[in-house]
Amino acid sequence: MNDLSDRVALVTGSSSGLGLAAAMALAQRGARLAISSRGGDRLAAAEARLAGTATEVIAVAADIRRPEALEELVSNVEEQLGPIDILIANGGGPRAKPATELDDVDWQEAIPLTLLFVPRLCQLVLPGMRRRGWGRIVAINSVSARQPIPGLALSNALRPAVLGYLKTLSQEVATDGVTVNAVLPGYTRTERLEELALSMAERTGQNAVDIMTEQGSGSAMRRLAEPREIGDTVAFLASPQASYITGQGVVVDGGYFKGLV
Ligand SMILES: NC(=O)c1ccc[n+]([C@@H]2O[C@H](COP(=O)([O-])OP(=O)(O)OC[C@H]3O[C@@H](n4cnc5c(N)ncnc54)[C@H](OP(=O)(O)O)[C@@H]3O)[C@@H](O)[C@H]2O)c1
């Protein structure tokens, strides 16, 4: 399916995990891709991996916590590939801590990493999308925005804030042809998940593999998600076929969330 041919997509946090899976799914649909992370070997390896599948791929290093790095990222991508049609906003998750152990430093570190980079990136790409009358913004969020996950107080607090921002934005830009959505993954087999399991193992003395098995068994499907399952949903929301979907948080969790909405 080449429905994204000639579309330019920027995917942040795409050297691994869900961001890389989203980049791969966009590449399969023919998008011209810019991937990004803090840089280093993992980003270079992701670029090499995508080179065989994407029409065109570039890799640009940028720390999403720094506003000026985001400005440079967007202008660098637009210089090399042209105007950005699709933004996939993703990054590293905040520290895993229970609410009773949080201090000010935790909040100060988590807010730019989990919340602020989303509006900052949106502000940079939106003027062009609105002028051209077409755009897709998809943020990778978390099922924790629907159902708080024990021990992840920062994620539980900040993910809903991102959704509140995106919902508001979606209302403001809908008539300009720009859709704004989020994908809310459940437990997915990535490096981040392994890190969380290891940190929980340290705290509780449990085995990290058992923790991951338990996380998978919390879903109705009794298994973890594979990154591809999240990437395909992101790519669908970025596609022309998703033209009447905006302001939504699409949960992709194998039935982990037990509420109605
Ligand atoms: N995996 C899950 O089960 C799950 C479930 C729900 C939500 N999520 C959320 O989804 C997001 C992605 O998770 P993941 O599992 O794919 O994690 P991951 O494998 O650790 O990937 C995180 C990506 O973000 C990049 N990154 C981290 N800090 C960055 C920074 N300051 N600036 C720029 N890039 C940065 C990393 O690249 P570099 O290290 O190269 O910079 C990497 O490409 C996270 O926010 C996570 O909390 C994950």
Q: Which of 128, 133, 137, 124 is nearest to 167 (CA)?
A: 137
Which pLDDT value is given to residue 7? Answer: 97
Between the CA of 28 and the centroid of ligand 1 the distance, in Å, is 21
32-37 and 8-11 as β-strands: parallel, antiparallel, unpaired?
A: parallel
Which pLDDT value is given to residue 98? Answer: 94
Q: Which atom of ligand 1 is nearest to the CA of 21?
A: 16
Which residue's alpha carbon is nearest to atom 22 within ligand 1? 92
Q: Which residues line the pocket of ligand 1, CB cutoff 6 A?
A: 13-19, 37-38, 40, 42-43, 63-65, 90-93, 113, 140, 142, 185, 187-188, 190-193
Partners of residue 251 on adjacent β-strands: 184
DSSP run (H or E) holding 97: none
Q: pLDDT of 81-94, one tens digit each?
A: 999 999 999 999 99
* 63 pLDDT more than 80: yes
Which residue's alpha carbon is nearest to atom 17 within ligand 1? 192
Residue 53 in domain: yes
Which pLDDT value is given to residue 38? Answer: 98
Residue 180 in domain: yes
**Domain around 133:** 8-186+226-252
CATH code for the domain in which residue 248 is found: 3.40.50.720
Residue to substitute in 10, 14, 38 for testing ligand 1 pocket (most ligand atoms within 8 angstroms of CB): 38
Which pLDDT value is given to residue 4? Answer: 95
Compute CA distances 237 → 5, 44, 104, 191, whole Å.
15, 27, 36, 24
Between the CA of 23 and the centroid of ligand 1 the distance, in Å, is 13
Between the CA of 15 and the centroid of ligand 1 the distance, in Å, is 9
Burial tier of 40 (Cβ tally within 10 Å: 0-12, 13-18, 19+): exposed
Which pLDDT value is given to residue 169? Answer: 98
Return d(Cα 31, Cα 2) in angstroms, integer: 8
Which residue's alpha carbon is nearest to atom 20 within ligand 1? 192
Residue 208 in domain: no
Between the CA of 199 and the centroid of ligand 1 the distance, in Å, is 16
The answer to whether 185 touches 225, Cβ cutoff 8 Å, is yes
Position 195: which residue type? Answer: E
Q: pLDDT of 31-41, one tens digit each?
A: 999 999 999 99
Return d(Cα 42, Cα 157) in angstroms, integer: 29
DSSP 182-235: EEEE-SB-SHHHHHHHHHHHHHH---HHHHHHHHHHTSTTSSPBPHHHHHHHHH
State the pLDDT confidence band at 59, using cuts at 50, 70 and 90: very high
Strands of 1-134, DSSP E: 8-11, 32-37, 56-61, 86-89
Residue 1 in domain: no
Residue 197 in domain: no
Q: pLDDT of 170-228, one tens digit each?
A: 999 999 999 999 999 999 999 878 887 898 899 889 999 999 999 999 999 999 999 99
Q: Which residue bears the tokens 């985001």?
A: 70
Per-residue pLDDT, averaged over 143-166, amounts to 97
pTM: 0.97
Residue to substitute in 191, 192, 211 for testing ligand 1 pocket (most ligand atoms within 8 angstroms of CB): 192
Percentage of residues of the chain with pLDDT beyond 90 = 91
Report how many domains make up the chain.
1
Which pLDDT value is given to residue 171? Answer: 98
Which residue's alpha carbon is nearest to atom 2 within ligand 1? 188
Between the CA of 175 and the centroid of ligand 1 the distance, in Å, is 32
Residue 42 in domain: yes
State the pLDDT confidence band at 54, using cuts at 50, 70 and 90: confident
Neighbours of 111 (CB within 10 A): 17
State the pLDDT confidence band at 1, using cuts at 50, 70 and 90: low
Which residue's alpha carbon is nearest to atom 27 within ligand 1? 92
Q: Which atom of ligand 1 is nearest to the CA of 37?
A: 34
Residue 257 in domain: no
Q: Which of 60, 52, 63 is nearest to 10 (CA)?
A: 60
Residue 200 in domain: no
